[in-house]
Amino acid sequence: MSFWKRVRLTLDMIRFEHSVFALPFALTGALLAMRQSGFVVPEWPRLLLWIVVAMVAARSAAMAFNRLVDAGIDAKNPRTKNRHIPARLLTPRFGWAFVVVSSFIFVWACRELNVVCLWLSPFALTITFVYSFTKRFTSLSHLVLGFALGIAPAAAWIAIRGSLDWRILLLTAAVMLWTAGFDIIYACQDFEFDSQEGLFSVPRVFGIAGALRIAQLLHVGMIACLIGLVFALQLGALAFVGVLAVAGLLVYEHSLVKPNDLSRVDAAFFTMNGWVSVLFFCFWAADIFLLNTSYARHY
């Protein structure tokens, strides 16, 4: 098998196209940081480019690591037994090499941002890697995954400003709750398998119906965090409309999944959450730039 075919299979294995899930939130964090700096950010195109590189590299490393660590579990699960590693479409050796290269690219991107990002890069990678082991001993694994994605907007803020502002942690909390909620929905598919294998998940502990209610509560918490951030950063009407749009999409997402009918989990998980992140970014970016333009005209 050629090298480039293995690379293509690896990108397919980690669902590379789903980098869109967290990337818009990271870019929103960067734009909010630029706004707080009065849009006086030298070399901002270069910084945004390296933020994107860092985000994609970190997610790629984490996803490949997860597939490698979970290969034995995936081989037993009827839903996942045809994934690339269990199906022997890719060798673990190539997968580990991909993890190392992606991790190196992430650290290099952090180095190009600022020294604080470079110092924090090992901790960020550790958080994303640790998630892969958590379902073996805690049902809080969904929140760990959420936190791994949630640090993205805070990291982007640090990349722009070189320091952290507590207010951006509201966006970290929102992303964490959003991710944990939709991960719980996705985990409902493996309720029986997790129970048989002794793996930990919210559906296994609370049942599918209870898990779906918890996912709903987590998503309510996400909306509350976003509303809090609108007021904390004194954003405008478009940002608030963006929150309402996200809330509407989440309501629809939950309407797709019932305790006795999980046939549309993929639509709820992949399609709707892709729209959530993209629409959120569009509304908030428009609000940020509109407020900046209005401010510039006023003065």
Tell me: the pLDDT tens digits for 123-132?
999 999 999 9
Residues forming beta bridges with residue 258, ordered by sequence position: 261
pLDDT at 188 over 80: yes
What's the rounded mean pLDDT across residues 21-28? 90
Show Cβ contacts of residue 43 under 8 Å, excluding neighbours closer than 6 positions: none
pLDDT at 166 over 70: yes
Pairwise CA distance, residues 206 & 294, whole Å: 50
CA dihedral 140, 146, 147, 148 (to 10 degrees): 110
Can you read off the two tokens belonging to residue 131?
């998630």
pLDDT at 10 over 60: yes
Q: How confident is the model at residue 195 (pLDDT cuts 50, 70, 90)?
A: very high
Show Cβ contacts of residue 120 under 8 Å, excluding neighbours closer than 6 positions: 110, 155, 158
pLDDT in the model for residue 18 = 67
pLDDT at 4 over 80: no
Q: Which of 6-20, 26-40, 81-95 is the least confident region? A: 6-20
What's the rounded mean pLDDT across residues 254-281? 88
What's the rounded mean pLDDT across residues 216-228? 98
Q: Which of 11-15, 109-113, 258-262 is the least confident region? A: 11-15
The CATH code for residues 3-293 is 1.10.357.140
Q: How confident is the model at residue 14 (pLDDT cuts 50, 70, 90)?
A: confident
Q: How confident is the model at residue 15 (pLDDT cuts 50, 70, 90)?
A: confident
pLDDT in the model for residue 296 = 43
What's the rounded mean pLDDT across residues 276-299? 76
What's the rounded mean pLDDT across residues 147-151? 95
Sheet strands (E) in the chain = none
What's the rounded mean pLDDT across residues 72-95? 91
pLDDT digits (tens, 9 = 90+) for 32-61: 999 988 888 888 999 999 999 999 999 999
Handedness of CA 111, 114, 116, 121 (dihedral sign): negative
pTM of the complete model beyond 0.85: yes
Q: How confident is the model at residue 75 (pLDDT cuts 50, 70, 90)?
A: very high
CA distances from 77 to 81, 203, 221 (A): 6, 16, 32
Per cent of the chain over pLDDT 90 is: 77
pLDDT in the model for residue 267 = 76
Burial 108-142 (b: 16+ CB within 10 A, else e): ebbebbbebbeebbeebbebbbebbebbeeebebb
Q: Which of 85-94, 200-209, 249-258 is the least confident region? A: 85-94
Residue with the two structure tokens 């995954």? 145
Average pLDDT, the chain: 91
Pairwise CA distance, residues 252 & 195, whole Å: 29
pLDDT in the model for residue 182 = 94
- What's the distance, Cα to Cα, between the start and end of the chain in Å? 62
Q: Any idea where the domains of the chain sit in the sequence? A: 3-293
